[in-house]
Amino acid sequence: MDKEAGYPSVQKHAKRRVKPLQLAIVFLATFSVSYSLANYLLWPNSHSEAIPINAQAVLAQCRALHLTPGPPDNFRSRTQSDRFVQGTKPTVIRNATIWTGLDDGREVIQGDILIDKGLIKKIGSVDLRSYHNVEVLDAAGAWVSPGVVDLHSHLGVDSSPALSGASDTNSLKGLTLPWLRSLDGLNTHDDAYRLSISGGVTTANVLPGSADAIGGQAFVIKLRPTAERSSSAMLLEPPFSLNGTYVDPFQRPRWRQMKHACGENPSRVYSGTRMDTQWAFRKAYDTARILKEKQDAYCAKALVGQWTGLGDFPDDLQWEALVDVLRGRVKVQNHCYEGVDIDGMVRLTNEFKFSIAAFHHAHEAYMVPDLIKKAYGHPPAVAIFATAARYKREAYRGSEFAPRILADNGLDVVMKSDHPVLNSRHLVYEAQQAHYFGLPANLALASVTSTPARVMGQDHRIGRLIEGFDADVVVWDSHPLALGAAPKQVFIDGIAQLEKPYTSVKPKSVQHVPATPNFDKEIADAIKYEGLPPLEPKPAKADVVVFRNVGGIFLKDPTTRRVSEVFTSASADGVVVVEKGQIVCSGAEAVCPAALSRSDALHLDLEGGSISPGLLSYGTPLGLTHIPGEASTSDGRVFDPLSSQIPPIIDGTAIKAVDGLLFGTRDALLGYRNGVTSAVTAPSGGFLSGLSTVFSTAAPHKLADGAVIQEVTALHVALSLSSGVSVSTQIATLRGLLLGAGKGDLGQRFEDVVAGKIPLVIHAESADVIASLLVLKKEVEVATGTPIRITISGATEAHLLAKEIGQAGVGVIVQQRPFPATWEERRILPGPPLTQASAIAALVAQNITVGIAVDPEPSSVRNTRFDVAWAGLESNGALGKAEVLALASSNLETLLGVEDSNVNADLVATRGGADFEGKVVAIISPRSASVNLV
Ligand SMILES: *[C@@H]1O[C@H](CO)[C@@H](O)[C@H](O)[C@H]1NC(C)=O
Ligand SMILES: *[C@@H]1O[C@H](CO)[C@@H](O)[C@H](O)[C@H]1NC(C)=O
Ligand SMILES: *[C@@H]1O[C@H](CO)[C@@H](O)[C@H](O)[C@H]1NC(C)=O
């Protein structure tokens, strides 16, 4: 930094006496004269003060301390963006349905958008007469929105794929580190930039992690690649002082961002308590306060010319950013979950007089809206996940209704990704879910566009579609609040980001805002029970239940187990009569005439909804944990034979998940209420986990009727490049076990696999590992002469070997939304708009039996019905309703060895339309001879 150059450098060098008149001339020539300065000039209190040579710079700096951040006054008259890339052609998007974000998110304009020079030049009817060489995109009525804005991301610092050489999220050098900058770890090669752009994300606030109370400064980036290929070139409005070059002291500063975190994370990392963390905050803020007061006292004197003994402007590189927080020039982004922590932060803001831009994660915010309103300055916004919850104590009382409740209390709601915790490609899915659970559509769209833009201090240029704003625009293939909405094109700074976008053909029904169900009772209960409302289903009191206005019935064939649509009615006038949990009559009204008038029956109107097979869940430790982050609430892990010493007393024993089942977990009950009636779970382990089981998600305990549906379903192993033992050792061990090296009970289980009696489910992600497994399968089959049943789960790279996997007769279980979290998962098939086929569609095309696994968090189990519907929506018509239901029912049963003879044991009655328009209202359960109301 050039100390002589001016602001923000401070004088450190020679001082000489300057006559007041000389000084007056300098000031009058350069600056507008402040009252105190004028005072000084007119009545200089001393002719003998030591006036430093850089007095002007110091005074300018002092005056600049009181400038509030924001764009320059003439910002709105700019004709070209500071991010404009020379040579970018103007583009007109014709005939779009434009959600502008204005009128509190209610304005929709039918028309065109002209973008040029990195800016939105015109919205409405565009006249191109003064333009040439314009790209034209015919939107044909498609929805257009502002680019999606992620208020909370670790994109680029918590890298994808995760590599130890690129993990720059958390510093462990102290609890309060306001001097750190996420920019210093911003990796420009992260695979997720392109993926997140393909989900419509154009801007992200890249935050340091939550291991520290004050983790450092955050930086807002645009996701597109830049010509310079640097981290700095990605920044949106970097603070002027960032690179230490000269800054005009009369220019309003730009907003800065800072990460704070309270609660479990900083306490855990530093083996402290909440008390220690809170003290660390107070100590840091006190340090900043003292420095700020010194600066203010210094400037009070400097501005009236009392230079004697003043010395240097008090500054400190480590604390200047926190001083800026106290000056109201930093957007504090505060990871803070529980009432207790929010209370501590609210006290801190009032003690030190600074405001918080947003509480992030904040799973308990909806319970304490009045507390949040007591924060200093203004109520913080609340930035949350939609349904990801219960992963640790702080998230245990999280509610899917929080966005709605917060909005009802007048608080700003933001949906965020915490990428890569949630893949920010699907940030709009968070807004969709928030909308499904009651957040009005205008606020749901705002929650990922205009609201986060405002909360990060960038709403003068992004987050809404306004003439003169940055040209960050998404053209969608359906309404952005409809399930599976994907961009057809994404513009950042006016540059089209998708080179050759693929669009899946979608039904007309997803072109409008979904008509969501009524959750008023559930919302009231979430508040009444502080996030823990009773979830147990209630059996209908009547023996006979008549479902009316049924639009479709899907059942599994008793012999082939295939799911098919056995009844469909365009006028939704179907009837299903259930007696003691068994369907006794179904079809058109005329088929079951007697049922309609039965007065002893419970009549349920499905409003055109359907009856379909109960879904099966796989892929999470559901049934083995209440709170994954709390060891004392979980079954725990099995000994790993390749990396730990197995106690001799259990050596040779195959561990059975059924022995550790925990019933009545909130995630299991929420699954049931959303149509997931059973789950397969294997013990949590490393290479060899053991034997899975299948259980009812509604059962109160193991001894209840139908609680354990099948004690043992399959044998499970996992192979990974990051297991700590070589893959070759893992394969060799598996080969040995398959060829008879196992002893005792374990050896017997492998014999069962080799004899084709139970499937072997192998978790493997990498195509190379999968290829080795296909070779091993053949080798074992040649040796024994019997085909073995192998299922590959994980299988992120399976699409690369789809043909070979199909020929080998191996089935796969994959997640619907692949993500390159690790190196062995990096070669994903992302699906539209980046590739024509989704991974599921590509695997199904090879006649592979494909099942769907949910994201490893048990809280995602409840969303299985969305996952399967989404798989259909992005399959370009390849997967119909029956096929997608099979992904999470009959196919999974086949792949996991579920052999329940009662194939239609649980049937799900959904009221209302598909996807986000329907609500599960009852489970028809022959097992418990009842209809369970949820
Ligand atoms: C806009 O698109 C819709 C839907 O494709 C179409 O019906 C309409 O005719 C188009 N309008 C214009 C002006 O092109
Ligand atoms: C430093 O930042 C300013 C303002 O952001 C910018 O104009 C200038 O080009 C930067 N200088 C360097 C060397 O990066
Ligand atoms: C998949 O099965 C269908 C129907 O049996 C058959 O026509 C098709 O050739 C098969 N595809 C492959 C890749 O084996």
Render pLDDT for 716-729 as a digit per residue (tens, 0 to 9): 999 999 999 999 99
Burial class (CB in 10 A: 0-12, 13-18, 19+), 443: buried
Kindly report, residue by residue over 110-145, the tens digit of the pLDDT. Answer: 999 999 999 999 999 999 888 889 999 999 999 999
Ligand 3 centre and the CA of 419: distance in Å? 39
Check residue 892 and give its pLDDT. 98
Check residue 245 and give its pLDDT. 65
What ligand 2 atom has the least distance to the C-alpha of 232?
14
The 3-state DSSP composition of the chain as helix, strand, coil percent (nearest 5) reads: 30, 20, 50
> Residue 594 — very low, low, confident or very high, per pLDDT cuts 50/70/90?
confident
Check residue 571 and give its pLDDT. 87
Tell me if the bond preceding 420 is cis, omega within 30° of 0: yes
Check residue 30 and give its pLDDT. 37
Atom 12, ligand 3: which residue's CA is nearest? 846
Average pLDDT score over residue span 585-608: 90
For residue 287, the number of C-alpha atoms closer than 13 Å in the C-beta half-sphere is: 16
From 237-241, 246-250, 267-271, 457-461, the region with the lowest mean pLDDT: 246-250
Q: What Cα–Cα distance (Å) separates residue 530 from each residue in 300, 339, 526, 535?
A: 50, 11, 6, 13
For the CA of 138, the nearest ligand: 1
From 1-15, 247-261, 275-289, 391-405, the region with the lowest mean pLDDT: 1-15
Average pLDDT score over residue span 757-782: 98
Kindly report, residue by residue over 646-670, the tens digit of the pLDDT. Answer: 999 999 999 999 999 999 999 999 9
Average pLDDT score over residue span 807-826: 98
Atom 9, ligand 1: which residue's CA is nearest? 140
Q: Token pair for residue 372?
A: 């949040």
> Residue 479 — very low, low, confident or very high, per pLDDT cuts 50/70/90?
very high
Q: Kindly state if the Cβ of 847 falls inside 6 Å of ligand 3.
A: yes
> Residue 596 — very low, low, confident or very high, per pLDDT cuts 50/70/90?
confident
Decide if pLDDT at 240 tops 50: yes
> Residue 249 — very low, low, confident or very high, per pLDDT cuts 50/70/90?
confident
Average pLDDT score over residue span 81-97: 98
Q: Kindly state if the Cβ of 846 falls inside 6 Å of ligand 3.
A: yes
Task: Outline where 828-900 has alpha helix (H).
Answer: 839-844, 864-873, 881-887, 890-896
Decide if pLDDT at 401 tops 80: yes
Contact indicator for 750, 738 with CB cutoff of 8 Å: yes
Ligand 1 centre and the CA of 95: distance in Å? 6
Task: Outline where 585-679 has alpha helix (H).
Answer: 593-596, 666-673
- CA–CA distance, 613 with 903 (Å, rounded to integer): 9
Query: Looking at this protein, which amino acid is placed at residue 365?
Result: A
Check residue 40 and give its pLDDT. 42
Greatest pairwise CA separation for the chain in angstroms = 109
Q: Residue 744's CB: how many other CB atoms inside 10 A?
A: 12
Backbone angles phi, psi at 760, to 5 degrees: -105, 120
Average pLDDT score over residue span 460-475: 98
Check residue 242 and give its pLDDT. 87
Average pLDDT score over residue span 494-504: 97
Polymer length of the chain? 934
Check residue 48 and give its pLDDT. 54
pTM for the model: 0.94
684/25: higher pLDDT: 684
Atom 12, ligand 2: which residue's CA is nearest? 243
What domains appear along the chain, each with residue ranges and CATH number?
1-74+159-459 (3.20.20.140), 534-614+906-934 (2.30.40.10), 646-659+683-691+711-903 (3.20.20.140)
State in Å, rounded, how far the first CA of the chain is from the last one. Answer: 66
Give the residue among 214, 266, 206, 213 at the shortest CA–CA distance from 231: 206
- CA–CA distance, 405 with 520 (Å, rounded to integer): 11
Atom 12, ligand 1: which residue's CA is nearest? 95
Contact indicator for 424, 204 with CB cutoff of 8 Å: yes
Decide if pLDDT at 7 tops 60: no
Q: Kindly state if the Cβ of 273 falls inside 6 Å of ligand 3.
A: no
Q: Kindly state if the Cβ of 511 falls inside 6 Å of ligand 1.
A: no
Q: How large a percentage of the chain has pLDDT more than 70?
A: 95
Check residue 49 and give its pLDDT. 65
| Probe residue for ligand 1, chosen from 95, 113, 512 as the CB with the greatest number of ligand atoms within 8 Å | 95
Ligand 3 centre and the CA of 786: distance in Å? 24
For the CA of 233, the nearest ligand: 2
Tell me if the bond preceding 534 is cis, omega within 30° of 0: no
Pairing of strands 135-138, 91-99: parallel
Provide the edge-to-edge strand list for the sheet that holds 381-384: 148-153, 201-206, 214-222, 256-261, 330-336, 358-361, 381-384, 413-415
What ligand 3 atom has the least distance to the C-alpha of 847?
1
> Residue 630 — very low, low, confident or very high, per pLDDT cuts 50/70/90?
very high
Ligand 2 centre and the CA of 155: distance in Å? 23
Ligand 2 centre and the CA of 245: distance in Å? 7
Ligand 1 centre and the CA of 121: distance in Å? 22
For the CA of 807, the nearest ligand: 3
| Residue 509 Cα to chain centre, angstroms | 25
Average pLDDT score over residue span 581-602: 88
Check residue 484 and give its pLDDT. 98
Atom 1, ligand 3: which residue's CA is nearest? 847
Q: Token pair for residue 858?
A: 């048990």
Q: How large a percentage of the chain has pLDDT more than 90?
A: 88
Average pLDDT score over residue span 234-242: 92
Check residue 404 and give its pLDDT. 98
Atom 8, ligand 2: which residue's CA is nearest? 245
**Cα angle: 378, vertex 380, 386; to 5 degrees:** 155
Q: Kindly state if the Cβ of 726 falls inside 6 Å of ligand 2.
A: no
Contact indicator for 493, 189 with CB cutoff of 8 Å: no
18/828: higher pLDDT: 828
What ligand 2 atom has the least distance to the C-alpha of 243?
1
Decide if pLDDT at 71 tops 90: yes
Check residue 569 and give its pLDDT. 87
Average pLDDT score over residue span 630-644: 95
Average pLDDT score over residue span 521-531: 98
Q: Kindly state if the Cβ of 238 falls inside 6 Å of ligand 2.
A: yes
Atom 4, ligand 2: which residue's CA is nearest? 240
Contact indicator for 616, 889 with CB cutoff of 8 Å: yes
Decide if pLDDT at 353 tops 60: yes
Q: Kindly state if the Cβ of 243 falls inside 6 Å of ligand 2.
A: yes
166/192: higher pLDDT: 192
Check residue 628 and give its pLDDT. 97
Q: Kindly state if the Cβ of 809 falls inside 6 Å of ligand 3.
A: no
Atom 14, ligand 1: which residue's CA is nearest? 95
DSSP secondary structure letter of residue 243: G
Decide if pLDDT at 814 tops 60: yes
- CA–CA distance, 763 with 856 (Å, rounded to integer): 13
Backbone angles phi, psi at 754, to 5 degrees: -65, -30
Atom 3, ligand 2: which residue's CA is nearest? 240
Check residue 21 and give its pLDDT. 37
Atom 2, ligand 3: which residue's CA is nearest? 847
Kindly report, residue by residue over 530-579, the tens digit of the pLDDT. Answer: 999 999 999 999 999 999 999 999 999 999 999 999 999 888 889 999 99
Q: Kindly state if the Cβ of 32 falls inside 6 Å of ligand 3.
A: no
Check residue 270 and give its pLDDT. 87
Average pLDDT score over residue span 278-287: 98
Q: Kindly state if the Cβ of 245 falls inside 6 Å of ligand 2.
A: yes
Atom 4, ligand 3: which residue's CA is nearest? 847
Ligand 2 centre and the CA of 248: distance in Å? 12
Decide if pLDDT at 44 tops 70: no
For the CA of 802, the nearest ligand: 3
> Residue 877 — very low, low, confident or very high, per pLDDT cuts 50/70/90?
very high
| Probe residue for ligand 3, chosen from 847, 849, 850, 883 as the CB with the greatest number of ligand atoms within 8 Å | 847
Q: What is the DSSP string of 745-813?
A: HHHHHHHHHHTTSSPEEEEE--HHHHHHHHHHHHHHHHHHSS---EEEEE-TTGGGGHHHHHHTT-EEE
Burial 20-50 (b: 16+ CB within 10 A, else e): beebbeebeeeeeeeebbeebbeebeeeebe
Q: Kindly state if the Cβ of 723 falls inside 6 Å of ligand 3.
A: no
What ligand 3 atom has the least distance to the C-alpha of 846?
13
Q: What is the DSSP string of 596-611?
A: HT-TTSEEEE-TT-EE
